[in-house]
Amino acid sequence: MVKLQETISRNYEELTNKIEKLDNKFDSIQEAIQKNEQKIKTVEVKAERTEKKLEQVDQRMMETNKNLEGSLVHLEMDRASFYLRFQNITETKDEDLGKLMAN
């Protein structure tokens, strides 16, 4: 009977120790989960900021593209009008069309 009580007592102590260790592990896992959740939140905030910045850059690029397209259209129109000026010019034998265009 004494041996049985000793065995029960020893088993109880072992179980108590194991439960305590499990509690400690559980606490450390919960702490790790909380840290990871905080890291995830900060990454999400950074991702949102980056996305906003990308949207702003995209908007500026589209505006710049529109400006460049407008400038290109104006340059092409100027070029076309420059060449159209000479469409009705008749060249005589003693005139050089290249010189006329340069003036």
Please name the residue that has the structure tokens 């949102």. 48
Domains of the chain, residue spans: 1-93
State pLDDT tens for residues 27-81.
999 999 999 999 999 999 999 999 999 999 999 999 999 999 999 999 999 988 8
Query: What pLDDT, on the 0 to 100 scale, is given for residue 89?
Result: 66
Q: Are 89 and 97 in contact (CB under 8 A)?
A: yes
Euclidean distance between CA atoms 37 and 47, whole angstroms: 15
Please name the residue that has the structure tokens 């397209």. 69
Query: What pLDDT, on the 0 to 100 scale, is given for residue 90?
Result: 67
pLDDT at 1 over 80: yes
